């Protein structure tokens, strides 16, 4: 490696400072977006829990075992719904959830099962479409401004129809989820067949149906499935902003360390240059005296 001059080192330090300003700005933006995303997460969770509670109660009033969405079949083909981000620069956010999906795909293929993918988020679409996986549908730019509920609804309806038609025997949902306000992790859940609630304490309640019980029950179950994907997208969006905020904070700190290191190199190089110039001047003076 060629020795850098003080001027080259000064330019390198300035470049690092410019990068630091960018990473610090991205950290601030992500922190602001994280607050809004977390508000949406904590607002959506009670609704998700209540709608599940309603399904649990209604399942005791209808014959849930006869509902095809509850049917547990032998797995021959499975669908995987994977939610990633549209952008990078978020540490291991995308790679971790992609790794979870790859592990599940490998496991199912080793068992001789067919695997189909529904990909929400540009990073997942880019990764799996380039590697020969069977992708039924990919969606990108779904997190640009707000979480796109129409995408959640379309995916839920598509996989539901595939399950009802026998094109798939089980559907998995994989996404990053906020565990606390300062941590997240990849989650793998069974999306279909719908898992019937276990035996719980009976909560008194009276339901009056204006339509048939089965029709209303199916409507509520479908609504819950739509919202399950939407909530997963909301959780993933909040986790993405948190991951990017942490990544940009680390990048800013690393830039500070590099600036300090290169400043020491610059000072040393400048001192060496000054010393060399003084030696040259001294030698020139001695040569003149010797004449």
Concatenated DSSP letters for 149-161? HHHHHHHHHHHHH
Chain length of the chain: 291
Q: If you search the block for the tokens 């990053």, which residue do you land on?
A: 176
The per-residue pLDDT for 269 is 83
pLDDT at 48: 84
Rg (CA), the chain: 29
Q: What's the CA angle centered on 171, arms 167 and 177, to 5 degrees?
A: 155
* 27-198+206-246: CATH number: 3.40.1380.10
Query: Which pLDDT value is given to residue 201?
Result: 47
Per-domain residue ranges of the chain: 27-198+206-246
Count of beta carbons in the 10 Å neighbourhood of residue 106: 11
pLDDT computed for residue 14 by the predictor: 94
Do residues 58 and 216 touch, judged by C-beta distance below 8 A? Answer: yes
Rounded Cα distance, 163 and 193, in Å = 8
Closest by Cα among 87, 71, 210 to 143: 87
The Cα–Cα gap between 259 and 88 comes to: 25
Q: What is the pLDDT of residue 282?
A: 79
CB 1 within 8 A of CB 233: no
Q: Which of 118, 112, 244 is nearest to 174 (CA)?
A: 118
**Three-state secondary-structure class, residue 178:** strand
Report pLDDT for 139.
Answer: 94
289, 40 contact by CB (below 8 A): no
pLDDT at residue 110 in the model: 93
Q: For residues 94 and 124, is the Cβ–Cβ distance under 8 A? A: yes
Q: Would you give per-residue pLDDT tens digits along the chain (291 residues)? A: 567 788 888 999 999 999 999 999 999 999 999 999 999 998 888 888 888 888 777 776 666 567 788 888 889 999 999 999 999 999 999 999 999 999 999 999 999 999 999 999 999 999 999 988 999 999 988 888 778 889 999 999 999 999 999 999 999 999 999 888 888 999 999 999 887 655 454 545 556 667 676 777 778 888 889 999 999 999 999 999 999 999 999 999 999 999 999 999 888 888 887 887 778 777 777 777 776
82: β partners: 119, 174
pLDDT of residue 175: 96
């Amino acid at each position: 490696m060629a020795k850098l001059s003080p001027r080259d080192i000064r330019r390198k330090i300035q470049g690092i400072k410019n990068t630091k300003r960018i990473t610090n700005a991205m950290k601030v933006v992500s922190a602001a977006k994280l607050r809004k995303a977390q508000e949406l997460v904590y607002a959506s969770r009670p609704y998700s829990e209540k709608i599940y509670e309603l399904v649990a109660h209604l399942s005791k009033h209808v014959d849930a075992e006869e509902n095809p969405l509850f049917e547990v079949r032998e797995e021959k083909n499975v669908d995987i719904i994977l939610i990633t981000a549209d952008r990078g620069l978020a540490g291991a956010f995308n790679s971790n959830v992609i790794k979870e999906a790859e592990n599940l795909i490998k496991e199912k293929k080793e068992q001789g099962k067919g695997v189909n993918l529904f990909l929400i988020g540009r990073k997942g679409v880019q990764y799996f479409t380039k590697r020969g996986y069977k992708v039924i549908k990919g969606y990108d730019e779904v997190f640009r401004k707000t979480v796109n509920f129409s995408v959640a609804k379309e995916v839920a309806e598509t996989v539901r129809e595939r399950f009802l038609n026998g094109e798939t025997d089980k559907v998995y949902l994989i996404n990053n989820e906020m565990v606390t306000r300062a941590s997240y992790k990849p989650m793998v859940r069974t999306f279909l067949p719908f898992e019937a609630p276990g035996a719980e304490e009976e909560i008194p309640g009276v339901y009056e149906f204006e339509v048939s019980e089965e029709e209303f029950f199916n409507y509520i179950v479908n609504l819950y499935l739509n919202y399950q994907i939407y909530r997963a997208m909301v959780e993933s969006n909040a986790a993405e902003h948190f991951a990017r905020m942490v990544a940009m904070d680390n990048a800013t700190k690393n830039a500070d360390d590099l600036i300090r290191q290169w400043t020491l190199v610059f000072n040393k190089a400048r001192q060496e240059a000054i010393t060399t110039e003084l030696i040259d001047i001294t030698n020139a003076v001695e040569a003149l005296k010797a004449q």
